[in-house]
Chain A
Amino acid sequence: MADPRSGVGAEQVAGGVPVTINGKELLAREGELLIEAAQRHGIYIPRFCYHPRMEPVGMCRMCLVEVDTGRGFALQPSCMLTCTPGMVVDTESEVTRKAQDGVLEFLLINHPLDCPVCDKGGECPLQDQTVAYGPGESRFVEEKRHYEKPIPISDLVLLDRERCILCDRCTRFADTVAGDPLIHFIHRGSNTEVNTFPDHPFASYFSGNTVQICPVGALTSVDYRFRARPWDLEETESTCQSCAVGCRMAVQSSRNQVLRYVGLDLDDVNWGWLCDKGRYGFQALNHEDRLGTPLVRSADELVPSRWNEAYKRAVEAIRAALESHGPAGVAVLGGSRLSNESAYAWAKLAKGVIGTDNVDAQLGDGLPAELILGLPLATIDETCTPGGTVILFAPDLKEELPVLFLRLRHAVLRDRVTVIDCHPHANSFTTLAAVSLHGRPGEQAELAKVLTGALGADREVAGVAPDRLARARALVEAAQGPVTVVLGRQTLGESGSAIADAASVLLAGLPGVRFLSALRRANVHGALEMGLAPGVLPGRVGLDEGRSWFASHWPGVPEVRGLDARGVLEEAAAGRIGALILLGADPLADFPDRKLAEQALAGAGCVIAVDQFLTGSSQLADVVFPAAGFAEVDGTTTNLEGRVLPLGQRVTPPGTAQPDWVIAAELARRMGADLGIESVRDVQDEIRRVAPARTDRAVELAEAAGGEAHAELEVGAEAQAELGTGAEVSGDADMPQAVTPTPPPLIEHRPGPIADPPPVDSYSLRLVVTRKLYDAGVIVSHSASLSSLAPGTVLRVNGYDFDRLGVVEGSVVQVKSPRGRIDVEIRIDNGIPRGTAAIVVNQPGVPVTELIDASERITDVRIERGDA
Chain B
Amino acid sequence: MAITDAPKIVTSRFQYDDSHTLARYEATGGYQALRKALGMSPTAVVEEVKAASLLGRGGAGFPAGVKWGFCPPGVWPRYLVVNGDESEPGTYKDRMLMERDPHQIIEGVLIASYAVGCSQAFLYVRGEMALAQERIAAALNEAYDAGYVGRNILGSEFSLDIVLHWGAGAYIVGEETALIESLEGHRGMPRLKPPYFPAAKGLYLQPTIVNNIETLSNIPWIVANGAEAFAALGAETSKGTRLFAVSGHVANPGVFEVEYGVTTFRDLIYAPVYAGGIRGGRKLKAFIPGGASSPWFFEEHLDLPLEKVTVDRAGSMLGSGAIVVMDETTDMVRACHRVVRFFASESCGKCTPCREGTTWLERILKRILDGQGRMSDLDLLLDVADNISPGIAWPPKQTTICPLGPSAVSPIASAIRRFRHEFEAHIARNPNAALEASDGGASTAARPAAVETAVSLGGHHG
Q: Which residues of A contact B (CB under 8 A)?
A: 57-62, 64, 74-75, 77, 80, 95, 98-99, 101-103, 105-107, 109-110, 139-143, 145-147, 165-166, 185, 188-192
Contacts and interface: CB of A to CB of B under 8 A. Distances in A.
A103 B399 contact: yes
Contacts of A141: 439, 441-442, 445-446
B357 interface: yes
Given A58-B192, A185-B187, A190 B347 contact: yes
Given A58-B401, A107-B352, A140-B360, 20 more contacts: A58-B192, A99-B399, A102-B386, A106-B355, A106-B387, A142-B447, A142-B449, A143-B446, A143-B448, A143-B449, A145-B449, A146-B452, A188-B348, A189-B346, A189-B348, A189-B359, A189-B455, A190-B344, A190-B359, A191-B453
A59 B442 contact: no
Nearest to A110: B356
Given A99-B390, A190-B355, A190-B356, A59 B350 contact: yes
A189 B353 CA distance: 11
Nearest to B453: A191
Contacts of B170: 188
B344 A189 contact: yes
Contacts of B397: 74-75
Contacts of B434: none
B380 A189 contact: no
Interface residues of B, number: 46
Contact of A109 (B356, B386, B401): B356
Nearest to B379: A139
B400 interface: yes
Given A188-B187, A189-B344, A189-B347, A98 B446 contact: no
Contacts of B27: none
Chain B CB count within 10 A is highest, among A60, A75, A141, A146, for: A141
A146 B454 CA distance: 10
B8 to A, nearest CB: 39
B196 to A, nearest CB: 10
Residue with the greatest number of chain A CB neighbours at <10 A, chosen from B187, B349, B441, B451: B349
A191 B397 CA distance: 26
A98 B349 contact: no
A165 B455 CA distance: 19
Contacts of A74: 397
8 contacts: A59-B351, A61-B352, A77-B192, A98-B390, A103-B353, A106-B387, A189-B347, A190-B349
Contact of B401 (A59, A95, A146): A59
Which 3 pairs across A and B sit closest by C-beta, in order of nearness? Answer: A102-B387, A106-B356, A192-B349
B242 interface: no
Nearest to A49: B352
Chain B interface mostly? loop
Nearest to A141: B442
Nearest to B350: A59
Contacts of B452: 145-147, 191
Given A189-B344, A190-B355, A192-B355, A142 B367 contact: yes
Given A142-B360, A189-B345, A189-B346, A60 B455 contact: no
Contacts of B355: 106, 166, 189-190, 192
Contact of A102 (B345, B353, B363, B453): B353
A146 B345 CA distance: 17
A75 B455 contact: no
Contacts of A58: 192, 401
Given A106-B356, A166-B355, A189 B446 contact: no
A102 B398 CA distance: 12
Interface string B433-462: 000000101100111110111110000000
A38 B452 CA distance: 39
A139 B379 CA distance: 11
A24 B356 CA distance: 35
Contacts of B401: 58-59
A60 B192 CA distance: 13
Nearest to A139: B380
Contacts of B359: 189-190
A572 B364 CA distance: 82
Nearest to B388: A102
A831 to B, nearest CB: 26
Nearest to A166: B349
Interface string B182-219: 00000100001000000000000000000000000000
Interface string B316-357: 000000000000000000000000000011111111110111
Given A141-B441, A143-B449, A145-B454, A61 B344 contact: no
A166 B400 CA distance: 15
A146 B451 contact: yes
A189 B399 contact: no
Contact of B454 (A60, A166, A190): A190
Contacts of B447: 142-143
Contact of A98 (B344, B356, B367, B387): B387
A354 to B, nearest CB: 65
Contacts of A191: 349, 452-454
Given A61-B399, A190-B359, A185 B349 contact: yes
Among B388, B399, B400, residue most surrounded by chain A Cβ atoms (within 10 Å): B399
Contacts of B348: 188-189
Interface hub of A101, A102, A105, A146 (most chain B Cβ within 10 A):
A102
Nearest to B452: A191
A185 B350 CA distance: 10
Contacts of B454: 145, 189-191
A188 B451 CA distance: 15
Nearest to A58: B192
